[in-house]
Amino acid sequence: MNADQGLFVPLILGILEGLTEFLPVSSTGHLLLAGHFFGLTQPATFVVLIQLGAILAIVTIYFAKLAMLVRDALTGKAYAWTFALSVILACLPAVAAGVLLRDFIQGALWESPMTICISLLVGGIVLLFVDRMPKRETYDDIYQYPWHLALIVGLFQMLSLIPGVSRSGATVVGAMLFGATKRSAAEFTFFVALPIMVGAFGYDLYKSRDLIDSSIALNVAIGFAAAFVVGAIVVRYLLDFVSKHGFAPFAWWRIAVGSAGIIALLVMR
């Protein structure tokens, strides 16, 4: 980051992280493109640390439901354990692939803006198609998702390791293709995001521990606060928005950003 950019960059990146983390538009893709086209960059440790703001946004909004699930699990209620196992099953494929392919993904793929733009464009077309196609909606209660649907969601989530695909977008598409309603698909991604993001945060924090110092403390604080506030707003209103408008607005946004990025990259050659 250039010195004359001051605190503007961490603020904008924090807002971008909070705004896009839970939308099916790829937060990583947007952050990387912001760095490539506009010079809005921070050390990798900054991106890792501000993710905690987005994590806490989920915990804050869903605190009552999370507390209820923990209470019911401790009192032996079967649905709570079944749901917990479904979330774990949905997380395992992406966790395994992420650990094994981390260096390749954050190296070759993160450094390819064309890959990101193509992923945004293609993912937007797929999301638009799935959103509009006639489907048999069988599952509308996330606590009753069968194990095979959770596993399918987990396998689709592996695609999100490609920057620009979107974790929430991949899980939503997988869930809807196999019978989930739009609202339940979106809500299930929140619960799946929590262990995935906590795990990714902890793993990246450990891998980057030698790079963390007090020099980026203020930037991290600003980015963290922005990601938390904006992320909480998104989580609070996203389900109602999806129930009314579906995922088409996000699909068109992906198509627009991906197309604009491809054109810009071709022109800049």
pTM of the model: 0.87
In angstroms, rounded to a whole number, what is the distance separating the alpha carbons of residues 269 and 265? 6
- 2 falls in which pLDDT band (50, 70, 90)? very low
Name the residue ranges covered by the structural domains of the chain. 3-268
For the beta carbon of residue 47, count every other beta carbon within 10 angstroms. 21
* Position 71 pLDDT exceeds 70: yes
pLDDT value for 118: 96
For the beta carbon of residue 78, count every other beta carbon within 10 angstroms. 9
- 3 falls in which pLDDT band (50, 70, 90)? very low
Q: What percentage of the chain carries pLDDT values higher than 70?
A: 93
Mean pLDDT of the chain: 88
Q: Is 145 helix (H, G, I), strand (E, B) or coil?
A: coil
Which is higher by pLDDT, 269 or 120? 120
Write out pLDDT tens, residues 208-261: 667 666 667 788 889 999 999 999 999 999 999 999 999 999 999 999 999 999
pLDDT value for 44: 67
Identify whether the C-beta of residue 91 lies closer than 8 Å to the C-beta of residue 195.
yes
In angstroms, rounded to a whole number, what is the distance separating the alpha carbons of residues 180 and 178? 6
Write out pLDDT tens, residues 87-116: 999 999 988 887 787 777 766 677 789 999
pLDDT value for 104: 73
- Is 188 exposed, middle or buried, given 0-12, 13-18 or 19+ CB atoms closer than 10 A? buried
